[in-house]
């Protein structure tokens, strides 16, 4: 059930960010170049200006296989005098959803033929004790702000998925606030626009005249549905569909990516039929048998294969038998995009749980 506040979402978000600046000596903006982080960065700059806290640290982990439009926009943002650039271009591993035989992109690996040169104002050395993207955020905070009370703010919104909606609307995180998460000790993550819709985001951008990444205009002109417009590395398990039109929008980026990473061209040629099949191949009895065949023969890394099987067993134990066919279709998709992290499983589970709750509620 939604509860409406007396102020509008822009006023509420500005007030939340102001409160965070009052509560935390260190406030860092997580930035991806997308529309949501564009709003967060601009609101944080406005608040910091009023409170005498400029420049605002803006944190971006560059995954190398990024849209060229995103990088051009990133340079504009990081060059602003109100911004302290924290642009990480250091060696990390990013999972490759396009090939089970070459599962990693080793971003910024020394001696590799990178997709582009590093920026002069970026951080080039990985001194943070991890080479994994998701772990690097907290590792950076521990290294650069040890023992300090600090927070990162992001553009995560509840509208984007049932999992996010559930996570952002329940449980006390800090002084009664639910819209965040404690990372460790006195380090937190907060999402001040968690209750915004995507129309709120675009309204704020256009009414304030804020610059935004032009990739959205290119996607719109290409006919991409709003819900599928994603700014991230282009081979992630939740963004792999962008490879279907990357070549048409940014030909140079496509050429560099296909030289850098295997499996990319295969995804484009087969379109969604490869990583999200709609029909069960006739040689298999059911989706479970198909899933097990793919896992055994396509996943070359035994550790990844074991992790996937562990997640399969967990799902079958947790989900009622009547939903197992749907679950096994999801498992097939997980195998085909190397989703051994279980991103698709957690999203599907949250949606399934929300649907079950709706069924149980009285009409």
Is there a domain that residue 244 lies in?
A: yes
Domain assignment present for 146: yes
Please list the rounded mean pLDDT of every run of 10 residues in the chain (363 residues): 77 97 98 97 98 98 97 98 98 86 89 95 96 94 96 92 65 90 94 95 97 96 87 81 89 94 78 71 94 90 90 91 92 85 80 70 54
Q: Which long-range contacts (CB under 8 A, 24 or more apart) does 355-363 make?
A: none
How many Cβ atoms sit within 10 Å of the Cβ of residue 333?
18
Instruction: Examine residue 282 and state whether it is found in any structural domain, yes or no.
Output: no
Instruction: Determine the pLDDT at residue 241.
Output: 82
**Same-domain status, 150 and 1:** yes
3-state SS of 122-184?
CECCCCCCCCEHHHHHHHHHHHHCCCCCEEEECCCCHHHCHHHHHHHCCCCCECCECCEEEEE
- What is d(CA 105, CA 64) in angstroms, rounded to the nearest whole number? 9
pLDDT at residue number 292: 95
**What pTM was estimated for this model as a whole?**
0.83
Residues 228 and 92 in one domain: yes
The span from the CA of 114 to the CA of 260, in Å, is 7
Same domain, 13 and 38: yes
Which residues form the domain of 115? Answer: 1-275
In a domain, residue 323? The reply is yes
- Tell me whether residue 264 is in a domain: yes
pLDDT of the residue at 250: 95
Cβ-contact 118, 85 below 8 angstroms: no
Listed residues 275, 310, 329: the one ending a domain: 275
Same domain, 33 and 172: yes
- As for how many domains the chain has, the answer is 2
| Residues 246 and 305 both lie in one domain | no
CATH number for 97: 3.40.50.620
Quote the pLDDT of residue 213. 97
Considering the domain architecture, whether residues 314 and 196 belong to the same structural domain is answered as no
Q: Looking at the structure, do residues 310 and 208 belong to the same domain, yes or no?
A: no
Q: Are residues 243 and 219 in the same domain?
A: yes
pLDDT of residue 344: 81
In this structure, the answer to whether residues 265 and 301 fall within a common structural domain is no
51 and 178 part of one domain = yes
Residue that finishes a domain, picked among 275, 309, 331:
275
């Amino acid at each position: 059930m939604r509860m409406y506040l007396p102020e509008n979402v822009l006023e509420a978000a500005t007030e939340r960010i102001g409160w965070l600046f009052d509560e935390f000596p260190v406030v860092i903006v997580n930035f991806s170049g997308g529309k949501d982080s564009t709003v967060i960065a601009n609101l944080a700059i406005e608040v910091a200006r009023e409170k005498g806290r400029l420049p605002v640290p803006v944190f971006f982990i560059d995954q190398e296989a990024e849209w060229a439009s995103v990088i051009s926009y990133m340079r504009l943002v990081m060059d602003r005098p109100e911004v302290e650039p924290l642009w990480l271009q250091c060696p990390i591993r990013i999972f490759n959803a396009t090939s089970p035989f070459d599962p990693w992109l080793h971003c910024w690996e020394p001696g590799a033929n990178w997709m582009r040169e590093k920026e002069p104002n970026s951080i080039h050395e990985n001194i943070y004790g991890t080479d994994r993207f998701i772990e690097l955020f907290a590792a950076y905070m521990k290294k650069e702000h040890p023992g300090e009370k600090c927070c990162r703010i992001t553009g995560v919104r509840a509208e984007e998925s049932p999992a996010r909606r559930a996570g952002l609307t329940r449980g006390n995180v800090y002084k009664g606030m639910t819209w965040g998460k404690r990372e460790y000790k006195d380090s937190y993550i907060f999402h001040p626009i968690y209750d915004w819709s995507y129309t709120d985001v675009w309204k704020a951008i256009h009414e304030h005249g804020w610059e935004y990444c032009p990739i959205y205009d290119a996607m719109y002109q290409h006919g991409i549905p709003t819900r599928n417009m994603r700014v991230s590395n282009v081979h992630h398990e939740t963004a792999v569909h962008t490879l279907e039109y990357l070549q048409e929008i940014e030909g140079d980026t496509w050429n560099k990516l296909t030289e850098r990473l295997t499996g990319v061209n295969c995804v484009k040629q087969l379109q969604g039929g490869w990583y999200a099949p709609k029909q069960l191949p006739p040689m298999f009895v059911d989706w479970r048998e198909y899933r097990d065949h793919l896992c055994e023969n396509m996943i070359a890394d035994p550790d990844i294969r074991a992790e996937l099987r562990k997640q399969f067993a967990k799902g079958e134990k947790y989900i009622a038998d009547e939903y197992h066919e749907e679950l096994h279709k999801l498992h097939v998709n997980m195998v085909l995009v190397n989703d051994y992290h279980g991103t698709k499983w957690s999203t599907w589970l949250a949606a399934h749980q929300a649907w079950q709750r709706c069924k149980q509620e009285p009409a």
